[in-house]
Copies of this chain bind each other. A is one copy, B any other.
Amino acid sequence: MTGRNSRDQALRERAHRVIPGGMYGHMSTARLPAEYLQFFSAAHGSRIWDADGHEYIDYMCAFGPNLLGYRDAGVDAAARSQMSRGDTMNGPAPLMVDLAERLVGMVDHAEWAMFCKNGTDATAMAMATARSHRRRRKILVAEGAYHGVAQWCVLRGDGVLPEDKAHVLTYRYNDIDSLAAAARAADNDLAGIFATPYRHDTFRDQEPVLPEFAAAARRICDEHDALLILDEVRTGFRLARGGSWESLGIAPDLSCWGKVIANGHPISALLGSDTARDAVTRIFVTGSFWFSAVPMAAALATLDVIEASDYLERIEERGHQLRDGLRQQARHHGFALRQTGPVQMPQMLFEDDPDLVLGHAWTGEALARGVYLHPYHNMFLCAALTEQDVRTTLERTDDAFRALRRRSGDTRAGKQQHANRGLGYDEEQVDHAT
């Protein structure tokens, strides 16, 4: 490995001296198999290249931002063009209004937009807006749901006090009784309910939202005059061309967007309905680069493609092609691979693999063959992925399954198949049908 990834190794050693822990946040490879790379030198379309120059077909999309393909020509041309006029100035460029109008036109519930940089900025603004709305305190979030790294919502780590979460109550996703109980506990102090469009927690199977759960969240907010907040940071424009719950007929009061809006250029957004307009004007939020014009120009170009092309249908087709192929391969090789979530945001976990031994081994074998999968975080597909890319991917994953069988022995593979049958488990049942 050292020979193959000697540059990555040398960079890691330097990084360990000047970056705490060698890296941090979602870019840390501390929990990933040893062969996972830390540094990347280039990206284009559906491909990434590591620091040592190896090429991969990529299924992470930078943890989401890459929607249309890395360095999409149209998006980057718009960014370069705006860069030749102005970026961070004393005020926003006129296109900020165009961008707000465009999003309001695309997302049904939205009647206004505000722009920021991080997903966390959008969720923090939503949280403060909910508290401002009727000057109440209680915020309901699903257990284990990731809404960013602000003190009130961060899931792990030091530096957080009980006071930071004193008025944050949890419920179980898709569990109406649990949600209703949390709302009763909040009583007249209920400010808002956060929900992700579907359940996409790390390290576990993804779950589609139950339509009756989404409806219950809306109804409880209405009964309490509280705000329903849909956190679309991870899902935005990968499930639909508008809000992810529009197909269910459920409109949130606020929705949080990030990652894909400008295909990797840094911008996030809070969208809201008129119900929340007064409340949001009473909070104070800002950031040095929130009004910069280049990411907004990139966003307009990205939204052009979202509105006018078949990017979404193509991503879904590729997602089904990948899922079907992997299902057959796993069966053929005797492994019980659970593929959950929407096909364009797949999660892949092995049955009976609590320590991710199989997951690490299989994704490591795929990585060595030029396919970048993730062993425990949901993945993301982009519109630059071709049918041939997925065919090539499947050839390589087939080899990776074969290598996995050699590594773990036929006993393990047999046990996997047994587990599969024994539980009556059919991965098709957990396919997400958004």
Residues on A lying within 8 angstroms of B by beta carbon are 7, 11, 14-15, 17-21, 23-27, 29, 37-44, 48-49, 51, 58, 60, 62-66, 70-71, 76, 79-80, 83-94, 96-97, 100-101, 104, 111-114, 117-121, 124, 127-132, 135, 137, 149-152, 154-161, 163-164, 166-167, 233, 258-259, 264-266, 268, 272, 277, 279-292, 295, 372
Contacts and interface: CB of A to CB of B under 8 A. Distances in A.
Given A24-B286, A25-B287, A39-B92, 11 more contacts: A11-B97, A19-B96, A20-B280, A25-B284, A37-B90, A64-B288, A71-B86, A79-B83, A132-B159, A159-B283, A266-B288
B90 A286 contact: no
Contacts of A164: 151, 163-164
12 contacts: A15-B100, A18-B104, A20-B272, A21-B281, A24-B285, A39-B96, A80-B83, A87-B264, A128-B157, A150-B150, A159-B282, A164-B164
Nearest to A43: B86
Nearest to A111: B18
Contacts of A42: 85-86
A284 B19 contact: no
Nearest to A276: B20
Contacts of A161: 131, 137, 166-167
A281 B28 CA distance: 11
Contacts of A40: 86, 89-93
